[in-house]
Structure 1
Amino acid sequence: MSALVSDVGTRTAVAAENLVKVYGKGDTAVRALDGVSVAFSAGRFTAIMGPSGSGKSTLMHCLAGLDNVDGGKVHVGGTEITTLGDKELTKLRRDRVGFVFQAFNLLPTLSAEANILLGLELAGRKPDREWFDTIVDVLGLRDRLKHKPSELSGGQQQRVACARALVARPDVVFADEPTGNLDSRSGAEVLDFLRMSVRKLGQTVIMVTHDPVAASYADRVVLLADGRPAGEIDSPTTDSVLSALKHLGA
């Protein structure tokens, strides 16, 4: 039985219970997740870290309903997503989950504004213009809304991707190496916004990263090693994260 890595807070946004994920079969089988139990409180910024092959990306994909599990349960809010069918999962990801990836995944023929609103349009939902305006202003995108991705810097493109993730007011935003394709200055801008979205907009953010500097922007770091929980760090600093990773052999 794994240790439960719990978070402080009043409401749980996402939780995994005894999560198991296996790739391959027989002698070549790899247990990417080996009984992981972890809870993430609403309104907090959490980073998931660990050595290469520790299972951090697999955990995020399972928490977000992007990958099936071989054992255990995942809850997003009050919904157990591990029992949902494909259509139900698609609807949940569309309506209640936001994603920010290392690749910006913007459509090159659309303006920044159209990219931000695309998910809502595909879902047949009208945007809350006040919320849209708040996000755009917090991200500093007001004078870039008519620009296409090719006319934006990498940092601006990632901020557009962040706005797209937030505009539907999701229960949680999953960020998978969101600064991986950015220089240090642009990366800091995106991390500042993710932190601001938690503190000022009440968003819940769960980020996978290998970068101790990026992790230092979070409220909490959850550590994995060999597919199992390996501790956590509250109020992380770059030095405290580096020390923990060194202890894990990363």
Structure 2
Amino acid sequence: MTTSTNSPAQQPLPVDATSAALSARGVSKSYGRGDTAVRALHEISLDFERARFTAIMGPSGSGKSTLMHCLAGLDNIDAGRLWIGGTEITDLPDAELTRLRRERVGFVFQAFNLVPTLTAKQNITLPVTLAGTAVDEGWLQEISSSLGLLDRLSHRPHELSGGQQQRVAVARALLTRPDVIFGDEPTGNLDSATGAEVLSLLRRSCREMGRSIVMVTHDPVAAAYADRVVLLKDGALVGELERSSPEAILQALAKLGS
């Protein structure tokens, strides 16, 4: 990531970076150059508390997916500073950033991203296997039991329902006990009942396992499972909601489009 040109006085460090799962200060990101440049993010400053579920919402093109990718260290930023836990990732070398993501960040995607030739257990443990570290079998059993997967661990993805496949993805994200789990439209390919089940599991991972969840979604019903909803428009932070109903979230989104 490129070094910010802003001075420390302009972009203060979080009061206690170790108390937050994620922190952003003055984060800006553009695509393209000159007259064709598109501003994706403009001076975003946010803290994401530990063990809280946050949804990121906004109209199409508001920058919500770009923000998630930058927070996770998947995309470079043009200016500002970023932390995961107490570790600043703004200029972290690629090898160290890859290791940090593997050990302290989990991902749950819309398309599940399971390897079809592997069993559910092998898919869950794949990141640990690739890292060459030992699987904590006790923790794996605890997660699998909590997510209702104990009798499905030997099954391959085509033998599982969509909801079960997404549970496997959630278990994979939880296995390394990450600081934060990012969800990119995690219920986008699920029916409403199965989606509600997965969202409940994510919320439980906050309350019972102490994980922090950051989810990008366009669905007010999904966002209502979150403790907090962050609203973006044209790449800028324009508001927040706390523990809101789908109706209140939909109304806030409608105001952004007006």
TM range (shorter): over 0.9
- Picking from 88, 91, 94, the partner of 1:83 is 91
Whole-Å Cα distance in 1 between the matches of residues 97 and 71 of structure 2?
Answer: 12
Name the counterpart of 2:168: 160
What is the 5 A alignment of 1:1-250? Answer: 11-249=19-257
Give how far 1:241 is off.
0.4
Q: Which amino acid aligns with 2:140?
A: F
Counterpart secondary structure, 1:39: strand
C-alpha distance in 1 between matches for 2:77 and 2:51:
26
CA–CA separation in structure 2 for the residues paired with 1:94 and 1:77: 14
Tell me the TM-score normalized by structure 1.
Answer: 0.95
Instruction: Give, in angstroms, the shift of residue 236 of structure 1.
Output: 1.6
For residues 85-139 of structure 1, give each alpha carbon's deviation from its aligned partner in whole angstroms, at most 9, with x where no partner exists. 1111111111110001111110001000010001001111112222211211111
Paired AA for residue 223 in structure 2? A
Q: Give the counterpart letter for 1:65 in structure 2.
A: G
Please, what TM-score do these two structures have when normalized by structure 2? 0.92
Structure 1 runs of 4+ aligned residues shifted over 3 Å read none
Identity of aligned residues (%): 63
- Equivalents in 2 of 1:235, 1:216: separation in Å? 7
Question: How far apart are the structure 1 equivalents of 2:139 and 2:210?
Answer: 12
How many matched pairs? Answer: 247
Is the partner of 1:57 in helix, strand or coil?
Answer: helix
Amino acid at match of 2:164: Q
Alpha carbon RMSD of aligned pairs, Å? 1.9
Instruction: Report the AA paired with residue 156 of structure 1.
Output: Q
SS at match of 1:82: coil
Which residue of structure 1 aligns with residue 3 of structure 2? none
Which AA in structure 2 matches 1:171? D
Cα distance in structure 2, aligned partners of 1:68 and 1:164: 25
- CA deviations over 1:133-172 (Å, ceiling 9, x no partner): 1211111111110000000011110110000000010111
Look up the SS of the partner of 1:14 in the other structure: strand
